Structure 1
Amino acid sequence: MLRNKLKNAKGFVFDMDGTLVLGDKESGNHKALPGAAEMLAHLRSRGIPYQVFTNGTARTPLWYANSLRHAGLDVRDDEMMTPSTSAAHYLKEKGVDRVLVLGKEPVWSPLQEAGLSIVESPGNGGSYDAIFVGWFREFTFPDLEAAAQAVWDGALLTTASNVPFFAAAGGKAIGTSFAINAMLKALTDTDALVLGKPSTEALNVAMARMGLDSAHPEEIVVVGDDPELEVRMANEHGALSVSVATGLYSTEDFAAQEKVQLPDLILNNVNELVELMES
């Protein structure tokens, strides 16, 4: 049953760090994990579309795509997305205009390309329709003050991600948006709306970019190394969830998850997925 679903899948969504590659804590110098290049080559040869979706916003989607190509992976510019990709779509659809962004150019560039008016925090006053929190190691107290005031004034609080760690070559690295979200929650009692994984918006945008109907998520496979992100996103929407133990979690960790985060298929690495697909 699972093998048939894999063979008949119309599209794949892959996590990046811990699934296809590992990079350093600055999200650079990517090195392909076993089977990653072969997996993408197999899909390309069969004409099956895919998206590589990282929850990181330290770099632009174009930068990540180029880095993956240097690591030997066949990833085109339009096959790479970050939470800023899905945030741009969501905020545009909501009629948002002026956005206070906690992050540098890689965070706000896709939003600006979508036609949104961007103010890089802390800005110089004025009103905002929304706030978007991304990768922001330069975060300062004035940024906290500006964002808190914007929330108190009624701005919609959104974020790229709300998970504390991601997989890196040296082990787990801290997600800056998680820390910023926690501070804003403590001050404003407001939960940030996640627009990266595992949100519905993120999956819908990924499917649209593959030319697939978001009404049929059962036709796609989501592959990742995090039960709270890729597995949850797939399970909550009816896609096939595949986990790999090349990131922060072991196969035993995945097997011990509760139902919403329990993968349909637990593998050691992407190389095993290649073998299943080709057998």
Structure 2
Amino acid sequence: MTHTDTQVLAYLTDMDGVLIHEGHLIPGADEFLAELRDREVPYTVLTNNSMRTPRDLAARLKVIGLDVPEDRIWTSASATAVFLNDQRPNGTAYVVGESGLTTALHEIGYVLTETDPDYVVLGETRTYSFEAITTAIRLIDKGARFIATNPDATGPSLDGVLPATGSVAALITRATGREPYYVGKPNPLIMRTALRRMDAHSGTTVMIGDRMDTDVLAGLESGCRTMLVLSGISTQESIEAYPYRPTKVLTSVADLVGHTSDPFA
């Protein structure tokens, strides 16, 4: 394999489990991003979490020691807004989610309503309301199209796992018989929108993540090489359960410091 074959010109990286863990900086993450910045390598922090806006996430990351400009952050809410704007510009939606999702939809000119919306859009929240879920079910039964920001069944917290978008989507599907269209990882759609924003090509971009079922699969299906870090949800043993493999397995992104130009050499 020649140097050209292994050259990496851009990075996509998950956030939780790769750069931060339970609200704390993962050692080496700051040095990794600093090296990309110093070398002027394009990168995007790509998260399935739709709760916060890129601006809010950038502020939160800064507090724990990671300097990531908001235009380097791409969320499943941002990708969902791009998708809906492409499918049905200036449409209407009933949203179950937080400000990250409602802000993204407002920015594309969507009207949020409970009255005959074009879409029901389900995102992440720590306070899923039974009333809101019931409203979503009734609107889908009446013909609203069902969109979900991401398929993650659980999310991390200091007290253990929490039910996430995928679990609540399953509840709505059970009640309506309608499956949502998931925009976030592993859908290559979110990868393509992120690559387009960086003006990067999948063949020279690496996807770094801590989950086989979202991060690695998304990278694989988008034509990117993949790196799985063991600083989040995955273990060396859990990799074996999947029929596909990451291009490389790392203890954490600290292993990439000093090697970002040719990480597969």
TM-score by length of 1: 0.87
Q: How far has the Cα of 1:4 moved from its partner? A: 6.0
Q: Which residue does 1:263 correspond to in 2?
A: 246
- Taking only the aligned residue pairs, the percentage that are identical comes to 26
Q: Which residue does 1:274 correspond to in 2?
A: 257
On the 8 A contact 1:172/1:248 being kept in 2, the answer is: no
TM-score by length of 2: 0.91
Give deviations 1:76-102, integer Å, cap 9, x for gaps.
Answer: 010112111000100000015001100
On the 8 A contact 2:50/2:149 being kept in 1, the answer is: yes
On the 8 A contact 2:50/2:98 being kept in 1, the answer is: no
Q: Which residue does 1:13 correspond to in 2?
A: 12
Instruction: State the SS of the aligned residue for 1:63.
Output: helix
Q: How far has the Cα of 1:171 moved from its partner? A: 6.8
Q: 1:11 to 1:258 in 2, by over 3 A?
A: same
Match of 2:186 among 167, 189, 198: 198
Letter in 2 for 1:252: E
For 1:13 and 1:175, how far apart are their aligned partners in 2?
A: 26
For 2:175 and 2:188, how far apart are their aligned partners in 1?
A: 27
For 1:4 and 1:172, how far apart are their aligned partners in 2?
A: 43
For 1:37 and 1:57, how far apart are their aligned partners in 2?
A: 23
Is 2:229 aligned against 1:240? Answer: no
For the aligned residues, what is the CA RMSD? 2.0
Give deviations 1:42-97, integer Å, cap 9, x for gaps.
Answer: 11111111111111122222111111122222310101121110001000000150
Q: How far has the Cα of 1:41 moved from its partner? A: 1.1
Instruction: State the SS of the aligned residue for 2:45.
Output: strand
Q: Which residue does 1:118 correspond to in 2?
A: 112
For 2:181 and 2:261, how far apart are their aligned partners in 1?
A: 39
Q: Structure 1: which 5+ runs fail to align?
A: 24-29
Letter in 2 for 1:272: D
Give deviations 1:125-158, integer Å, cap 9, x for gaps.
Answer: x211111111233323322221112212222211
Q: Which residue does 1:135 correspond to in 2?
A: 124
Q: How far has the Cα of 1:267 moved from its partner? A: 0.8
Q: Which residue does 1:26 correspond to in 2?
A: none
| Aligned residue-pair number | 261
Letter in 2 for 1:127: D
Letter in 1 for 2:19: L
Q: Which residue does 1:90 correspond to in 2?
A: 83
Match of 1:184 among 162, 169, 172: 172
Match of 2:60 among 61, 67, 70: 67
Letter in 1 for 2:34: A
Q: How far has the Cα of 1:255 moved from its partner? A: 4.4
